[in-house]
Structure 1
Amino acid sequence: MEIKDIQNLIKFVAKSGASEVKLEMEDIKITIRTGSDGKGETTYIHQMPAMAAAPQAPQAPAPQAPAPAQPKEAAPDENSKYITVKSPIIGTFYRKPSPDKPVFVEVGSQIGAGDVLCVIEAMKLFNEIESEVSGKIVKVLVDDASPVEFDQPLFLVDPS
């Protein structure tokens, strides 16, 4: 899918009055959300990893991965009962809506599906990341104002 096709899709969705459209193809996943007044719109575009690109993906985080991987290997059974909330986009992770506001969630916070957990800034757009599960925040895996990658774990949630 070319950028021109994506731009036309965004225009079409904005004119149609739909509040949200999701499109999944073999190599790309697109979510377009428009505000209730039709003025604001959020577009997420996820490039799915291709088979040829798969060997390249582990090479980029490899310098960072070995150090954290060793402590996680010590307790794989403990974390297996938790649900991992992962980043849907690449950007900068923020725990607060603005510097003078409190954090969205703390360790121990009860959350429900649809609750905002954090925001991720990508290209000057602040995208609210909502929970898809209900439960209790067990661990925040990323520091505030840190860069995050697509599919990087952000939170551990205890669904019980």
Structure 2
Amino acid sequence: MKIQEIREIIKLVDQSTLDEFLYESEGTKIKLKKNDKSSVATSATAFESTTLVEQPVVLDTKSVQVSVSKEVMEEKVEKVEEDKSLQKITSPMVGTFYQSSSPEAPVYVQVGTKVSAESIVCIVEAMKLFNEIEAEVNGEIVEILVKDGQLVEYGQPLFLVKGN
């Protein structure tokens, strides 16, 4: 399991009403419990079929990378609020943002792309379901507010669109 996947799990558990979360797969075990300031993850690796070695790891849910992303997002949201002529396309769900249908496929939109209300602008993956997101506005993409592969929140602005 990659560290990015663990970070995403931590963030989802932190935002949920769960107090405890346990995940086991292929000899790896992650156990998260909510505390005031951090979550504790326990990693177990099987060296032999009968031997498990547990290594507790304290993971801070307020990592620098997440904090920087939130600051950048808040700065961009303020920019939207300042310029009322710009419309925003927001995420209808919590999930992972993707600019294209696959890594090899071209991106749906980029800065300068003209979109209509029915135009597909991205995909948000939630629980292994890939949801195509429509623009729901007419205009031109002037800014992409999130990065490919980034975890997004419900209602989080994804794109800024200048109306026609």
- The answer for the alignment partner of 1:112 in structure 2 is 116
The two structures have a TM-score, normalised by structure 2, of 0.54
- The answer for the alignment partner of 1:153 in structure 2 is 157
- The answer for the alignment partner of 1:125 in structure 2 is 129
Q: Return closer, same or farther for 1:102/1:81 CA change in 2, 3 Å cut-off.
A: same
Tell me how far apart the structure 2 counterparts of residues 114 and 70 of structure 1 sit (CA, whole Å): 28
The two structures have a TM-score, normalised by structure 1, of 0.55
- The answer for the alignment partner of 1:103 in structure 2 is 107
Counterpart of 1:94 (choices 85, 93, 98) is 98
Matched, 1:140 2:144: yes
Aligned residues: 100
Q: Return closer, same or farther for 1:70/1:127 CA change in 2, 3 Å cut-off.
A: closer
CA shift, 1:72, in A, is 6.0
Which runs of at least 4 in structure 1 moved beyond 6 Å after TM superposition?
A: none
Q: Return closer, same or farther for 1:75/1:149 CA change in 2, 3 Å cut-off.
A: closer
Structure 2: unaligned runs, 5 residues or longer:
1-60
CA shift, 1:100, in A, is 0.5
- The answer for the alignment partner of 1:38 in structure 2 is none
Aligned Cα root-mean-square deviation (Å):
2.6
Tell me how far apart the structure 1 counterparts of residues 157 and 120 of structure 2 sit (CA, whole Å): 16
CA shift, 1:103, in A, is 0.2
Q: Deviations over 1:24-46 (max 9, x none)?
A: xxxxxxxxxxxxxxxxxxxxxxx
CA shift, 1:133, in A, is 0.9
Compare the two structures and name the one with the higher strand fraction: 2
CA shift, 1:135, in A, is 0.4
* 1:157 aligned partner, one-letter code: V
